Amino acid sequence: MNYASYIDHTLLKADASEKDIKRLCKEAKEYGFFSVCVNPMYVKLAKKYLRNSEVKVCCVIGFPLGANVSKVKLLETKKAITDGVDEVDVVMNIAKFKDKKYNYVGKEIAKIVDLCNKKVLVKVIIETCYLSKEEILKACELVYECGVDYVKTSTGYGINGAQVEDVKIMKEYCKDKLKIKASGGIKTLAQVQEFILVGAERIGTSSGVSIVKEGINQEN
């Protein structure tokens, strides 16, 4: 199985340097990852390093708390589009969602979807570690109604990352109408296999190289 094709090769550390981004892109090309996922300031640089390759460039929006005002998230998205981003991973306004301000949350996401205009793929991070089962299902419904392409589990900066049980809950609603990305704390091939088994169609991880190598060794 080509596990690399599921992976968004991720580097979102505060101290990530241009040299680190260059290495990330080189690894993505070498191992055939689906995309690299970087902070917005590095979209243009990643596009440069990935020129003439099939690897996509993804960046996060409103990361990691989702608590930026809507205008800032929209400006961040516009800039990423201008810089050539292929996909955006948007952190839902978790506080507003928990307060049941669903109209606010939905409007914000819908505006970002409109900006992307079906040319840039949109994933929304709902940060499952802060949500009950009922809230996870509601969040999936809300983002689906906004026209996003994927719902994503986690930023990796919450109290925990992706959990298999949470992806199972997400799949209850998403079925075949909304894709799922699992991310946060995924470091082994066994984890990747389990998340794919329960319905994840994309995996966000900073451990992509070791995971792919583990898969190659397993096949041999």
**Burial group, residue 29, by CB count within 10 angstroms (0-12, 13-18, 19+):** middle
What pLDDT was estimated at residue 190?
A: 97
65-91 average pLDDT score: 98
Question: Cα(116)–Cα(171) distance, rounded to whole angstroms?
Answer: 25
User: Does 21 score more than 90 pLDDT?
Assistant: yes
Would you say the C-alpha torsion 102, 105, 107, 112 has a positive or negative sign? Answer: negative
111 is catalytic: no
Asked if 55 and 27 touch (Cβ cutoff 8 Å), the reply is no
CA geometry: angle 46, 148, 49, nearest 5 deg: 5
What pLDDT was estimated at residue 219?
A: 80
Question: Cα(219)–Cα(217) distance, rounded to whole angstroms?
Answer: 5
User: Does 220 score more than 80 pLDDT?
Assistant: no
What pLDDT was estimated at residue 78?
A: 98
Question: Cα(28)–Cα(50) distance, rounded to whole angstroms?
Answer: 9
3-state SS, residue 201: coil
98 is catalytic: no
50-71 average pLDDT score: 98
- 8 pLDDT band, cuts 50/70/90, is very high
**Burial group, residue 84, by CB count within 10 angstroms (0-12, 13-18, 19+):** middle
Structure tokens at 142: 């809300």
181 is catalytic: yes
Residue tagged 């190289």 (tokens): 209
Tens digit of each residue's pLDDT (9 = 90 or more) over 116-161: 999 999 999 999 999 999 999 999 999 999 999 999 999 999 999 9
Q: What is the mean pLDDT of the chain?
A: 97
What pLDDT was estimated at residue 99?
A: 98
Q: Which of 8, 73, 86, 89 is catalytic?
A: 89
What Cα–Cα distance (Å) separates residue 195 from each residue in 7, 8, 52, 118, 142? 12, 14, 31, 27, 23
Q: Which of 56, 96, 152, 166 is catalytic?
A: 152
What pLDDT was estimated at residue 211?
A: 98
**Burial group, residue 205, by CB count within 10 angstroms (0-12, 13-18, 19+):** buried
% residues pLDDT > 90 (the chain) = 97
pTM for this model (two decimals): 0.97
Is the CATH code 1.10.357.10 the one for domain 3-219? no
What pLDDT was estimated at residue 216?
A: 84
